[in-house]
Structure 1
Amino acid sequence: MNRDQLKVAGLWFLFLFPLVVLVIYSFAGRWTFPSLIPDTMNFRTLTYFKANGYKILTHLGSSFLYSIVAVVLSVCYSLVPAQFLSRADFKGKKLVESLLLAPAVLPVMTFSVGIHIIFIRLGLADTHFGVALILSVYSYPYMLRALISGYKTIHPDTLVCARNLGAGFWQILWGIEIPMLLPALTAGASIVFLVAFSDYFLVFLIGGGSVPSYSGYLFPFLNSSDWSLASGLTLLFILLPVFLFVVLDLTVNRLYRKWI
Structure 2
Amino acid sequence: MSVRPSWWFAAAAVVAALVLAFLFLPALVVIPVSFTDRSYLSFPAESWSWQHYRQLVDSPVWRGSLLQSVAVSAVSTLAATLLGAAAAIGAWRLGARLGALVRLLALLPLIVPTIVGALAYYRLYIDLGLLDTFTGVVIAHVVAAMPFVFVSVGSALANFDPRLEQAARSMGARPWQVLWRITLPGVRSGLVSGAIFAFIVSWDELVVLLFVTTRNVYLLPRAMWDGINENVDPTIAAVATLMIVITFIRLCAERLLAHHRQKQELS
Q: What TM-score range do you get, normalising by the shorter chain?
A: 0.7 to 0.9
Superposition deviation, residue 151 in structure 1: 1.6
What 5-or-longer segments of structure 1 have no aligned partner?
A: 1-5, 31-36, 255-260
Residues 1:167 and 1:91: Cα distance change in structure 2 (over 3 Å): closer
Counterpart in 2 of 1:41? 46
What 5-or-longer segments of structure 2 have no aligned partner?
A: 1-12, 261-267
Q: Does 1:85 align with 2:91?
A: yes
Residues 1:109 and 1:149: Cα distance change in structure 2 (over 3 Å): same
TM (norm. structure 1) is 0.74
Contact between 1:28 and 1:42, CA under 8 Å: does it hold in 2? yes
Matches within 5 A, 1:61-210: 61-91=67-97, 94=100, 96-210=102-216
Counterpart in 2 of 1:215? 221
Superposition deviation, residue 199 in structure 1: 0.7
Q: For the aligned residues, what is the CA RMSD?
A: 3.7
Letter paired with 2:30: L
1 CA distance for matches of 2:123 and 2:229?
A: 29
CA deviations on 1:13-41 (whole Å, 9 max, x unpaired) are 969866653332223468xxxxxx95823
2 CA distance for matches of 1:173 and 1:93?
A: 18
Superposition deviation, residue 106 in structure 1: 0.7
Letter paired with 2:87: P
CA deviations on 1:68-111 (whole Å, 9 max, x unpaired) are 21122112322333123234443475455233311112112222
Superposition deviation, residue 204 in structure 1: 3.4
Counterpart in 1 of 2:244? 238
Q: Would you say how many aligned residue pairs link Structure 1 and Structure 2?
A: 242
Contact between 1:182 and 1:252, CA under 8 Å: does it hold in 2? no
Alignment match of 1:26 (pick from 34, 52, 69) = 34
Residues 1:224 and 1:124: Cα distance change in structure 2 (over 3 Å): closer
Q: Percent identity?
A: 21
Letter paired with 2:212: I
CA deviations on 1:43-73 (whole Å, 9 max, x unpaired) are 5x63243245143332122111111211221
Contact between 2:118 and 2:207, CA under 8 Å: does it hold in 1? no
TM (norm. structure 2) is 0.73
Residues 1:145 and 1:92: Cα distance change in structure 2 (over 3 Å): same
2 CA distance for matches of 1:60 and 1:223?
A: 19
Q: Could you say what secondary structure the match of 1:101 adopts?
A: helix
2 CA distance for matches of 1:172 and 1:100?
A: 24
CA deviations on 1:167-223 (whole Å, 9 max, x unpaired) are 223322322222211111122112111111111121232333311201111123445
Residues 1:242 and 1:174: Cα distance change in structure 2 (over 3 Å): farther
1 CA distance for matches of 2:98 and 2:175?
A: 28
Contact between 2:92 and 2:157, CA under 8 Å: does it hold in 1? yes
Contact between 2:189 and 2:257, CA under 8 Å: does it hold in 1? no
Residues 1:62 and 1:241: Cα distance change in structure 2 (over 3 Å): farther
